[in-house]
Amino acid sequence: MKSSAISLHHRHGEQDFLINLIDSPGHVDFSSEVSTAVRLCDGAIVVVDAVEGVCPQTQAVLRQAWLENIKPVLVINKIDRLIVELKLTPQEAYRQLQQILQQVNAVTGTLFTSKVLEERAEKDREVGEEPGEELGEEPGEEPGEAAGEQVYDWSAGLEQVDDSNLYFSPDQGNVVFASAVDGWGFSVQQFALIYSQRMGIRKEVLLKTLWGDFYLDARARRIMKGAQARGKKPLFVQLVLDNIWSLYDAVVTRRDQQKVEKVVSSLGVKVLPRDSRHSDPKVLLHAILSQWLPVSQAVLSMVCEKLPSPLDMTPERVERLMSVGSRQFDSLPEETQALKRAFLQCSSGGDVPTIVFVSKMVAVDAKALPQNRPRPLTQQQLAQRRELARKRHAERMAADGPGESTPPGGQPASLSTDQMEALTLTDSKLEDEEEQKEVFIAFARVYSGTVKKGDRVFVLGPKYDPAQGLSTLPEGCRPTDDPPEVPHLSCCSLDCLYLLMGRELVELDEVPAGNVLGIRGLEECVQKSATLSTSPACSPFIPLNFEATPIVRVAIEPKHPGEMPKLVQGMRLLNQADPCAEVLILETGEHVLVTAGEVHLQRCLDDLRDRFAKIEISVSKPIIPFRETVVRPPKVDMVNEELGKQQKVAIIHQVKDEGSQGRLSDTLQVDPNGLVTLTTPNRLATVSIRAIPLPKEVTDLLESSTELIRTLEQLNMSLREGKRLEVSLRTLESIAGLKTQLESLLQGRKWRNAVERIWSFGPRRYGPNILLNSVEGYQRPSVWQCLSKADLTGEAGPHCASLRDFDNSIVSGFQLATLSGPMCEEPLMGVCFSVERWDIQASTLPPHQESLEEDSLAQEAFPNSQGEASTEMCSHMEDPSPELCQTRSRQEPAPAARYGQVSGQLIAAVKEACRQAFQAQPQRLMAAMYTCEIMATADVLGRVYGVLGKREGRVLHDEMKEGTDMFVIKAILPVAESFGFADEIRKRTSGLASPQLVFSHWEVISSDPYWVPTTEEEYLHFGEKADSANQALKYMNAVRRRKGLYVEEKIVEHAEKQRTLSKNK
- As a whole number, mean pLDDT of residues 800-821 equals 77
Question: What's the distance, CA 606 to chain centroid?
Answer: 21
Cα–Cα distance for residue pair 1017/1028, rounded to 1 Å:
15
Q: Which residues contact 1043 (CB under 8 A, 6 or more apart)?
A: 588, 824, 825
562 φ, ψ to 5°?
-70, -15
- pLDDT tens-digit series, residues 613-641: 889 999 988 888 899 999 988 776 555 55
Question: Is the pLDDT reported for residue 412 higher than 60?
Answer: no
Least confident piece of the model among 140-144, 850-854, 901-905: 850-854
pLDDT(882) > 50: no
* pLDDT exceeds 70 at position 398: yes
Beta bridge partners of 607: none
Closest CA to 968 of 998, 940, 937: 937
Residue closest to 56 by CA, chosen among 987, 1023, 1046, 970? 970
Calculate mean pLDDT across residues 795-805. Answer: 44
Distance CA 985, CA 991 (A): 8
pLDDT(176) > 90: yes
504 CB contacts (<8 Å, ≥6 apart)? 368
645 vs 1001, more confident: 1001
Is the pLDDT assigned to residue 29 strictly greater than 80? no
Q: Rounded to an integer, what distance in angstroms lies between the CA atom of residue 1008 and that of residue 991? A: 38
Which pLDDT value is given to residue 1058?
63
Q: Is the pLDDT of residue 157 over 80?
A: no
Residue 42 has pLDDT above 70, yes or no: yes
Confidence category of residue 841, pLDDT binned at 50, 70, 90: low
pLDDT digits (tens, 9 = 90+) for 465-489: 887 778 887 777 777 777 777 888 8
What dihedral angle (degrees, nearest 10) is formed by the CA atoms of 378, 384, 385, 389?
A: 160
Confidence of residue 644 (pLDDT cuts 50, 70, 90): low
> What average pLDDT does the segment 1040-1055 reach?
79
What would the pLDDT profile of 727-736 be if each residue is shown by its tens digit? 667 778 888 8
556: number of Cβ within 10 Å: 21
Does the pLDDT of residue 973 top 70, yes or no?
Answer: yes
For residue 8, give the amino acid letter.
L
More confident: 329 or 653:
329
- How much is the pLDDT for 66? 86
Listed range (21-35, 103-117, 230-244, 660-674) with the worst mean pLDDT: 660-674
Q: Are strands 43-49 and 71-77 parallel, antiparallel or unpaired?
A: parallel
Question: How many CA atoms lie within 13 Å of 976's alpha carbon, on the beta-carbon side?
Answer: 20
**Peptide bond preceding 827 in cis form (omega within 30 of 0):** no
Distance CA 367, CA 437 (A): 8
Separation between Cα atoms, residue 449 and residue 950, nearest integer Å: 59
What pLDDT sits at residue 405? 44
Reply yes or no on whether the pLDDT at 790 is more than 90: no
pLDDT value at residue 768: 92
**643 contact partners, CB below 8 Å, separation of at least 6:** 634, 635, 636, 637, 651
Query: Distance between CA atoms of 240 and 766, rounded to whole angstroms?
Result: 58
Q: Which range is least confidently modeled, 27-36, 112-121, 170-179, 714-723? A: 112-121
Q: Which amino acid is at 278?
A: H
State the average pLDDT over residues 79-107: 89
Confidence check: pLDDT of 217 > 90:
no
Regarding predicted confidence, which is higher, 75 or 547?
75
Per-residue pLDDT at 805: 61
3-state class (DSSP) for residue 264: helix
pLDDT of residue 627: 93
What mean pLDDT comes out for the span 844-863? 35
Residues 6+ apart with CB under 8 A from 781: 716, 720, 797, 799
Q: Is 80 exceeded by the pLDDT of residue 160?
A: no
Pairing of strands 831-840, 769-773: parallel
Please say if the pLDDT value at position 878 is more than 50: no
- pLDDT above 50 for 241: yes
Residue 1025: pLDDT band by 50, 70, 90 thresholds? low
User: What local confidence, expressed as pLDDT, does residue 818 receive?
Assistant: 92
- Tell me the average pLDDT of the chain: 78
pLDDT digits (tens, 9 = 90+) for 537-561: 888 888 887 877 788 889 999 999 8
Strand partners, 839: 686
Residue 52 DSSP one-character state: T
Picking from 752, 750, 753, the residue whose alpha carbon sits closest to that of residue 782 is 753
At residue 670, does pLDDT exceed 60? yes
Instruction: Give residue 34's pLDDT band: very low, low, confident or very high (50, 70, 90).
Output: confident
HEC readout, 285-327: HHHHHHHHCEHHHHHHHHHHHHCCCHHHCCHHHHHHHHCCCCC
Which residues on neighbouring strands pair with residue 186, listed in sequence order? 177
User: Which distant-in-sequence residues (6+ apart) come within 8 Å of 918 by Cβ?
Assistant: 628, 630, 691, 817, 821, 822, 828, 831
Query: Does residue 947 have a pLDDT over 80?
Result: yes
Q: What's the confidence (pLDDT) of residue 488?
A: 82
CA neighbours closer than 13 Å in the CB half-sphere of residue 103: 20
**Which band of pLDDT confidence, cut at 50, 70 and 90, is reported for residue 815?**
very high
For residue 292, give every residue at least 6 positions away whose Cβ sits within 8 Å of its Cβ, in sequence order, or none: 184, 267, 269
Q: Which of 252-266, 395-409, 1009-1023 has the least mean pLDDT?
A: 395-409
Q: What pLDDT was estimated at residue 917?
A: 92
How high is the pLDDT of residue 794?
43
The C-alpha atoms of residue 146 and residue 139 are separated, in whole angstroms, by: 10
pLDDT of residue 888: 36
Q: What is the pTM of this model?
A: 0.75
| Number of residues that make up the chain | 1065
CB atoms closer than 10 angstroms to residue 564: 13
Query: Nearest-CA neighbor of 597 among 614, 580, 612, 611?
Result: 580
pLDDT at 1036 over 70: yes
What percentage of the chain carries pLDDT values higher than 70?
A: 78
What is the pLDDT confidence band of residue 653, given thresholds at 50, 70 and 90? very low
| Segments in 379-489 forming alpha helices (H) | 379-400, 417-435, 466-472
